[in-house]
Amino acid sequence: MLSSNTEAGEGYSDILIRMRARSIGIVVEIKYTEKQDLEKGCQEALAQVEEKDYARPLIEDEMETIFRYGIACHKRNCMVRMAIHNRALAE
């Protein structure tokens, strides 16, 4: 199931995906940067996912693995950074 701008945690994530059959969830946060610092934009996007607890609905749905993507764009350039949480490894 794919949803966009859906309430999640303390706000609205840009994209939230549930793959129930595989117990995988994905949270995507996208930032447009005014400057060319794409790395900083990615880190800010990932930090927002954590600070706003956007993965909470996926955790409540008992997803085993949650991929968090921070995407930063500036004009025609784009960068993606990812963080993974695996429930089995976290316990």
CA distance 74 to 62: 35
Mean pLDDT over the full length of the chain: 88
Residue pair 18/28 in contact by the 8 Å Cβ criterion: no
Residue 91, pLDDT above cutoff 60: no
Residues 89, 85, 25, 5, Cα dihedral to 10°: 160
Residues 6+ apart with CB under 8 A from 88: 64
Which amino acid makes up residue 51?
E
- Paired with 37 in beta bridges are none
- Per-residue confidence at 34, pLDDT binned at 50, 70, 90? confident
Mean of pLDDT values over 57-76: 94
